[in-house]
A and B are shown apart, each in its own frame.
Chain A
Amino acid sequence: MSMAKFLFRRTLQGVFVIWGVVTVLFGLRAVSPGDPATLMLGQGATQDLIQQVREEEGLNDPIVVQYGDYLAELVTGDLGYSWRSEREVEAMVIERIPATLELAIAATIIALLIAIPLGVISATRRGSPSDYGATLFSLLGISTPNFWLGLMLILVLGVWYGIPYPTLSTGSTIPVGIGLIDLPTGRRAVGFGEAFMTLLTEQSFDEMTLWLKHITLPAVTLGTYFTALITRLTRSGMIDELGKPYVTATQAKGLPGVLIRYKHVLRNTMIPIITVLGLQMGTLMGGAVITETVFNWPGLGQRLINALSIRDWPLMQGIILFVAVMFVFINIVVDALYTYLDPQVSIE
C-alpha cells in the first residue's frame, strides 16, 4: 500500500473518531442538568425571554433535530457561541492555543532531553548507582501529582532563596528566584511568536529571555511525568535490545560502544517510545489543564476549567473537540513515522 493510500485510510478513521467524540459530547450536553436558556440568560430572566431563547436556539426541537443541526454547524466550521460571554467559541479557542502549545512542546522537549540519555545510561550500567538514581527518579516522577509538584517547586525555590511572592489565587507575578535568575511562578508575560519576532527584528534577546523564564517552572512541572515515563521506557527497551544478537555482532566487529548504543540500539528502542508519546498526548493535555491552573497560565486548560465551572457547554465542547482533533492528528503522524524509523514495519 502506498503512503498516500495509507494516509487517506487513517484520515478516514480519524474522521470517524472525531464524529464519535462529537456525538459523545452532544450526548453529555443533552443529559446534563440545567436548562441552557437559563444558563445563557442568568437566573433573573423572565419565562417569556427564556421561551424566546429556547425557540431561537432550537432547544424546543426534538433531540435528533438538534443533533443534526449541531453536526451541520460543525461541518461548516461553526463552533457556536459561548453561553456566558457570547463570543464566538472558535475565537476563544484559537486565542488560547499558543500558550498551551508552547507549554506542551516545552514539556516534551525537556522530557526527551533528560529521559533518553538517562534511560540509556541506566540500561547500559545496570545495577550502578546511576541506574538506581534513575529508577528512583522515574518512580517518583510517575507517582507525583503534577499540581503538587508545581506547588512544591514554588515552595522550595521560594523558601531556599527567601524571595516573597503573593498568594497564587490572585495570580502571582512576582518572581521566585534561583540565585540570580528570576523564575516567575505565574502568568505568561509574552508569547513565543512575539518574542521570536522581537529577536529577528530588533536583535534583542530580552523578550526571549522573559518567555523562557516564565515557561520554565510550568514546563518542568508538566514535563516531569513524561520524563519519568520515557526514562522507564527507554531503559526497558534498551535492555531488551542490548540482549539481541546483532549487538554482539557489532561489538565483535569492533564498533565503538557509544556508536552501537546511540545509532543502532536506541533507534530500535525509539519505536515503542514514539508510540507511547503519541498515545500520551491525551495525558499531556490533561496535565496541561492542571499545570495551567497551578501557574495561572492562560491556555486552553485554564479556559476549560472556567467553562466547566459555569457549565458553558459550547465552549467546553469547542476546547475538548480541539484536543481530540490534535490527538487523532498526532497519532496519524506517529503511525507514518514508524516507516521511517523501522523499515521492517510496512504500512498495512
Chain B
Amino acid sequence: MISDRVKSNLRETFGESLLPKLGLVLLTVILVMAMFAPLLATHNPTRTGYFHENGGPYPPPGFDYTTTVAQDGEITQVEVTATDEHLLGTNTIGQDVYSRFLYGARVSMLVGLAGVTLALLMGVPFGLIAGYYGGRVDDGLMRLADVMLAFPALVLALALIGVFGSQPIRVPDPIVWAGFAEGMPESIPIPGSVTIVVALVTWVWFARVARGEALSIRNQEYVKAAKSFGTPNWKILVTHVLPNSITPIIVLATIQIAVIILIEASLAYLGFSGTTLSWGYEIETGQDVLRTRPWVAMVPGIGIVLSVISVNLLGDWFRDALDPNIEGSERGA
C-alpha cells in the first residue's frame, strides 16, 4: 500500500522539523484524554451545583473574583477563590470545567474520526469508479461535485441538520460499564446525525481526489496488462487502483479531520449538536458571562484550537513528505 520511498520520506521530514513531533504529542495527549475521560475526570461532567459557599461558580487559579452577597440584611463584598477540588473551576450551572473539557475531547475526536471515515467510505469508491470507468458516471460525479461545492459546508450542514434533527445516539461507556469509573455518566452521547452531516458535506473532496488518481492510473501499463489477462474490473480497482491512489487520500483525510472538528464545534456553538458535552456548546454557554466568568468560554476554545493544530501539524507533515499535489488540501469549512 505505502511504498518504502514514502516511508523514508516520512521519517526524514519527521526528523528534520520539530512541528510534526509536536503535532504527534499533542494528538496523543488529546486522544488519551478522550479515551480515558471517565478515569481522568475528577467529577461527573453532567453533575451540576458545584458552587462556592459564597454563591458563584469556582474560578480556576488566577481568576479569583469578588461578588456581592446579602448578609444579615446588609450587602457585602466577598471573595470567591479557586479550589484544588475543581482544577479549572466550575461553569455557570456549577459543572466541573476540567471534567467537561475531557469529555468534550471525546465528542470532538469521535465526530472527527467517525465523520472522516464515513466520508472516505462514501467518496473514495465513488471517485475511483468514476475515474476508472469515465464516461457518464464520471460526468455525473463531476457535476454533482460542482453542485455540492456551491453550498458553503457549514450552511449545507445546517440545512441537513434541519432535516435529520440532532438527536445523539447513546452508547454505554465501556470503562464505566466495566466498573472502573464509578459515578461517571453511564453512556456516551454520540452526535450521530452531526457525524452523518459532516460526512455528507465533506465526502465530495475525497471523491474528487480519488477520481483524479484513478483517471491517471487507468492508463498505466500495469493496469493495461492486468486487463489483457482478463482480470475483472472490480479486482483491478481493488488491487491496483486503490493502493496506488491511497497517499493523497491519506493526506486529505488528515486535513479533513481538522475541518470536521471545526464544523462540529460551529454547529454545537449554534446549538445544533445535540449534546451538551461538546466544546462548541460550552463556549456558547460561556458567551453570556464572558466578562465575569471568562474561563467558561476560554477553556473549551483552547481544547478546539489544540486539537485542530495537532491534526493540521500532522497534515502538513504528511503533505510535505508525500508531496501530492492535491486539490482541496487548502480548503476548509
Residues of A within 8 A of B (CB): 13, 16-18, 20-21, 24-25, 28, 31-33, 139-140, 142-145, 147-148, 151-152, 154-155, 158-159, 164-165, 167-169, 225, 229, 232-233, 276, 279-280, 282-287, 289-290, 293-294, 304-305, 308-309, 311, 316, 320, 323-324, 327-328
Contact = CB atoms under 8 A, between A and B. Distances in A.
Interface stretch (B74-82, B119-127, B170-178, B297-305): B297-305
* Contact-residue size bin, chain B (C-beta under 8 Å from the other chain): 35 or more
A320 B298 contact: no
B301 A316 contact: no
A231 B280 CA distance: 27
A24 B297 contact: no
Contact of A17 (B146, B159, B332): B146
B331 A276 contact: yes
A229 B330 contact: yes
A320 B158 CA distance: 11
A28 B312 contact: no
Given A142-B332, A308-B162, A20 B280 contact: no
A143 B151 contact: no
Interface string B143-164: 1101101111111001111110
Nearest to A34: B162
B184 to A, nearest CB: 27
Nearest to A232: B330
B269 A324 contact: no
A225 B163 contact: no
Interface stretch (B130-138, B218-226, B258-266): B258-266
B163 A276 contact: no
B333 A286 contact: yes
B22 to A, nearest CB: 10
Given A232-B330, A308-B159, A316-B159, A144 B313 contact: no
A145 B301 contact: yes
A152 B294 CA distance: 9
B163 A140 contact: no
A168 B297 CA distance: 13
B333 A143 contact: no
Contacts of A16: 143, 146
Contact of A286 (B144, B149, B155): B155
A159 B294 contact: yes
Contact of B153 (A21, A286, A293, A311): A286
A310 to B, nearest CB: 10
Given A21-B151, A148-B301, A167-B287, 11 more contacts: A18-B150, A21-B147, A151-B290, A151-B301, A152-B298, A155-B298, A159-B294, A168-B290, A229-B330, A309-B271, A324-B150
